[in-house]
A and B are shown apart, each in its own frame.
Chain A
Amino acid sequence: MSDSIVFDPRVLRAPHPVPGAPDNWKRFFGFNTDAKVIGIQYIVLSLFFLLVGGLLAMIIRGELITPPSDLVDPTVYNGLYTMHGTVMLFLFLFPILNGLNNLLIPPMIGAPDMAFPRLNAAAFWLVPVFGVLLMASFFVPGGPSSSGWWAYPPVSTQNPLGHLVNGQFLWILAVAISGVSSIMGAINFTTTILRMRAPGMTFFRMPIFCWTAAAAQTIQLIGLPSLTGGAIMLLFDLSFGTSFFKPEGGGDPMLYQHFFWFYSHPAVYVMVLPVFGIFSELLPVYARKPLFGYKVVAVASFGITFLGLIVWVHHMFYSGTPQWMRNLFMVTTMLIAVPTGIKVFAWLGTLWRGKLRLATPMLFCLGGIVNFIFAGITGVMLATVPIDIHVGNTYFVVGHFHYVIFCTITLGVFAAIYHWFPKFTGRMYYEGLGQLHFWITFVGSALNFLPMHWSGLMGMPRRVASYDPEFALANVLASLGAFLLGVAMIPFLLNMVSSWARGPRAPANPWNAIGLEWLLPSPPPAENFEHDVPTVIAGPYGYGLGEPLVADQDRFIARSEEA
């Protein structure tokens, strides 16, 4: 059986656009059902919105570099920080992680595509729709939504100008459409993982990234209906005179907070779980060792899913929540430290006595893990009711949140982009620019988000456009860090664009990694393994064990190199 079945050359010339075909680029601008095309569409679009959200952040930091409100009007400031949060969450992080899901899940489990390719494409095309809607809200009379990304009523339903179409209205529509898109994605990802694995790939032979993706998408399926329901009630309160959340009509503003946080706290786990998956995938590759305690790490993902769904009231400790409820939700929140701790210790165990190679993806992983340990510690502090009552709604929370969302999740996403860049573009990136990107990002993020903890402890509330002069030093440092993060995008974009256009051709397995996706050519053909799907015979991280991952592995390696 050593004669390899090469990829059908007709595939490369088929009308279904595949890598290498003429007019290859056009497929990225149409309704394409190929998961790899959709993945790249998601990633490129969300990187564009990273720049938009980053620009908003830099205006915010420009305002906050001095104590008085002197750069923009306070009402404009409120709109800017609201849109910064909304864009970064709904148009950068969720889409870019869905992009990685699309790129990685099918090849990792040996599937030709997602379970529902048309649903997949439809879910993607909803992103530019609500992206345009959200950007359009900058231009309606009265400006965009200015009630924060939580959109707590009654501020969010005040509608000062009284127009039917206002920034808040468009914001709610955008969030609702984003929810629909995410639910479509979640159905697709979970079905694909459950039903389309290669022969021999049992759950406990599945890469951790697929485990974490499944755990995260389960949260989407359970939690999103709550947010979408809350958003629709808010829309009715805002525009059609109902009073779900209006005290004067018998409603209760606290009800919205429950709807909102029941989804929006676990939403952070939706974003961080795949990044845990990325760390767990990359550390074995760059430490040349199996993942320490694979099964426990895999199962811990669902521990986080379960606990993540029962902690939401910790956002409401100072909202008039009775003492027994505070105690209960403090305990559940603190328990999350256990499954996440298991993962962190497993990563350290993976590094121990390894053979570390500090390529760019590994640097981003290590930076992300160090930051995450810090964020986890401040997270336990925030779970502690009396501490939360002091620092809740201050810059301490902003600092903690950005340590999770930027310093961990975004660094993990960068690690993934560099690691799988050769696989899906067929080109190598430039290592020097990658390392430069890492160091500017790592230093900039510490400078930006570490001083926020300090100003929060001293009592600076979040969301203020002006502040007392005693907070000036922390804010100057944070602003300098933010501008540095802006600078960090230059080597990154330069690297991505020039490498994709002119980079050296990538071999099938440049990192000498184990995994089904590395048995495919770079870039993989439209339907991955086509009709010749390998049979998995071993666990996913057999570094140093000398066992093949799939039956007849040499044939698949030869085939991937010939293509």
Chain B
Amino acid sequence: MTPTFQRPSRPSAIGLLLIAAGLLLNLLISLAMARASHGWLPVQASSAAPHVDGLFALETGIGTFIFLGCLSVIAWTLLFNRAPRYDLVDGDPIEGNLRLEITWTVLPFVLVMLIAAHTIRVNHTLATLGGKERVAENGAAPALTASDRAAGTSFGPIEVIARQWSWEFVYPNGVRSTELHLPLDLRADLRLTSMDVLHSFYVPAFRLKQDLVPGSVIRYALTPTREGRYRLRDAMFSGGYFATNQTDVVVEASETFDAWLTAAARQPLVEAPNLAVEMHRKRLADGDHGWATVPPAPPPRVNVTTAVDAPHEA
């Protein structure tokens, strides 16, 4: 039972060349993947989106490099280190290699710290999240502060109100709507409130998501950068008809937006159509089968309702 193996000889020049070629190929594939990763995401419609997509592409590239690297090692051993049938001899008793182990501890450490430092910088740039204030005892929202009204470079504040299961938006001039209209290239200040449970304000095309917490008003700001109609989805599970709690965000040029806002103010308040209410009514009509749910909140009365079947881009 004496160990009979020879120290592996130093890798030959051809071997090193092959490894270098492999790494180069891996690098090229990783770069291609990083570039392709933009195609896996919706259109970019806010100032935050390019930053998020940039980070995602960076990590897709690094991730692909590591994944393919590890996979190549496994594939190599599967191709060249298989035991022939009935061969019961042990492999080389290599128990470790201090230098290698230090390398693969320090390298990942440095790598993730670099990614983290870069991300902290990006976080600082984005800074979409404002303060979060508890609602006063009587349930009234806290008064607008100076910063809410600051500067002509921003529009708002727009009240975003979520219920089980509807969205309602209230603009500074008192207009109410169930689809959110925002002026292009202007910072929109939002004040997020939930009337019942947790909801989440999520617009994939903006790459932004913020929970609405009952009992708090959360200040939030974003800058749309692309005209179009995008989906706004509730992303925090909010009970029975959660999946219906979706509406649209319409980003339009400033003049169009102003015209829309003035026209909307002349529209009478009507009860907004609501999918959850319809489904619940149908359920009651069909004999109330299914498991328990709270009934949907009455649909908000608004000046502008969500356009039915208008095509959205993302």
Q: Which residues from chain A sit less than 8 Å from chain B, CB to CB? A: 69, 72-76, 78-79, 141-144, 146-148, 152, 154-155, 158, 160-161, 166-167, 247-248, 252-254, 287-296, 318-320, 322-323, 326-327, 330-331, 334-335, 337-338, 341-342, 344-346, 348-349, 351-358, 366, 369-370, 373-374, 377-378, 380-381, 384-387, 389-390, 392-394, 454, 457-459, 461-468, 512, 542-546
* Inter-chain contacts of B196 with A (CB < 8 A): 154
Contact A458 to B237, CB < 8 A, known contacts A160-B294, A161-B292: no
Contact B236 A73 (CB under 8 A): no
With A293-B101, A356-B78 given, name 11 new contacts (CB 8 A).
A73-B289, A75-B240, A75-B291, A154-B198, A154-B214, A318-B211, A323-B123, A330-B120, A342-B104, A373-B67, A458-B41
A234 CB to nearest chain B CB (Å): 14
A-B contact pairs, 29 of them (CB 8 A): A74-B241, A75-B290, A78-B291, A143-B292, A252-B215, A288-B89, A295-B96, A318-B210, A320-B210, A335-B112, A338-B105, A338-B109, A345-B104, A348-B70, A354-B81, A356-B77, A377-B59, A377-B66, A381-B56, A386-B51, A386-B207, A390-B207, A457-B41, A458-B41, A461-B234, A463-B243, A468-B231, A468-B246, A543-B93
A353–B97 Cα distance when bound, in Å, is: 14
Contact A389 B207 (CB under 8 A): yes
A206 CB to nearest chain B CB (Å): 16
The interface bits of chain B over 66-103 (1 if a CB of A lies within 8 angstroms of the residue's CB, else 0) are 11001101100110011100011111111111001100
A331–B119 Cα distance when bound, in Å, is: 10
Contact B122 A353 (CB under 8 A): no
The listed residue (A152, A254, A389, A543) touching B91 by CB distance below 8 A is: A543
A545–B90 Cα distance when bound, in Å, is: 9
* Inter-chain contacts of A287 with B (CB < 8 A): 77, 81, 91
* Inter-chain contacts of B113 with A (CB < 8 A): 331, 334
B296 CB to nearest chain A CB (Å): 11
Contact B293 A458 (CB under 8 A): no
A323–B122 Cα distance when bound, in Å, is: 11
A546–B90 Cα distance when bound, in Å, is: 9
Contact B67 A146 (CB under 8 A): no
Contact A290 B123 (CB under 8 A): no
Determine whether B108 belongs to the interface, using a CB cutoff of 8 Å to chain A: yes
Q: Which residue of chain A has the shortest Cβ distance to B123 in the bound complex?
A: A385
A341–B12 Cα distance when bound, in Å, is: 28
User: Interface SS of chain B: helix, strand, loop or mixed?
Assistant: mixed
* Inter-chain contacts of A320 with B (CB < 8 A): 129, 132, 210-211, 213, 216, 218
Contact A370 B101 (CB under 8 A): no
Contact A79 to B291, CB < 8 A, known contacts A318-B211, A320-B132, A320-B216: yes
Determine whether B242 belongs to the interface, using a CB cutoff of 8 Å to chain A: yes
B22 CB to nearest chain A CB (Å): 15
A72–B289 Cα distance when bound, in Å, is: 10
Give residues 153-198 of B contacting A (CB, 8 Å): 196-198
Contact A155 B237 (CB under 8 A): yes
Determine whether B279 belongs to the interface, using a CB cutoff of 8 Å to chain A: yes
* Inter-chain contacts of B214 with A (CB < 8 A): 154, 247, 253
Determine whether B200 belongs to the interface, using a CB cutoff of 8 Å to chain A: yes
Contact A152 B198 (CB under 8 A): yes
Contact A351 to B294, CB < 8 A, known contacts A320-B216, A338-B108: no
Q: Which residues from chain B sit less than 8 Å from chain A, CB to CB? A: 1-3, 5, 8, 40-42, 48, 51-52, 55-56, 59-60, 63, 66-67, 70-71, 73-74, 77-78, 81-83, 87-97, 100-101, 104-105, 108-109, 112-113, 115-116, 119-120, 122-124, 126-127, 129, 132, 134-135, 196-198, 200, 202, 204-205, 207-211, 213-216, 218, 231, 233-244, 246, 279, 283, 289-294, 312, 314
Contact A356 B82 (CB under 8 A): yes
Contact A337 B211 (CB under 8 A): no
The listed residue (B122, B202, B291, B294) touching A158 by CB distance below 8 A is: B294
* Inter-chain contacts of A545 with B (CB < 8 A): 3, 93
* Inter-chain contacts of A322 with B (CB < 8 A): 129
Q: Which residue of chain A has the shortest Cβ distance to B109 in the bound complex?
A: A338
* Inter-chain contacts of A457 with B (CB < 8 A): 40-41
B63 CB to nearest chain A CB (Å): 4
A378–B40 Cα distance when bound, in Å, is: 14
Contact A349 to B100, CB < 8 A, known contacts A355-B87, A356-B81: yes
A457–B63 Cα distance when bound, in Å, is: 16
Contact A461 B108 (CB under 8 A): no
* Inter-chain contacts of A247 with B (CB < 8 A): 134-135, 213-216
Q: Report the 6 A-B pairs with minimum CB-CB distance, sorted nearest first.
A: A247-B215, A459-B204, A143-B291, A142-B292, A73-B290, A544-B93
* Inter-chain contacts of B241 with A (CB < 8 A): 74
Contact B293 A75 (CB under 8 A): yes
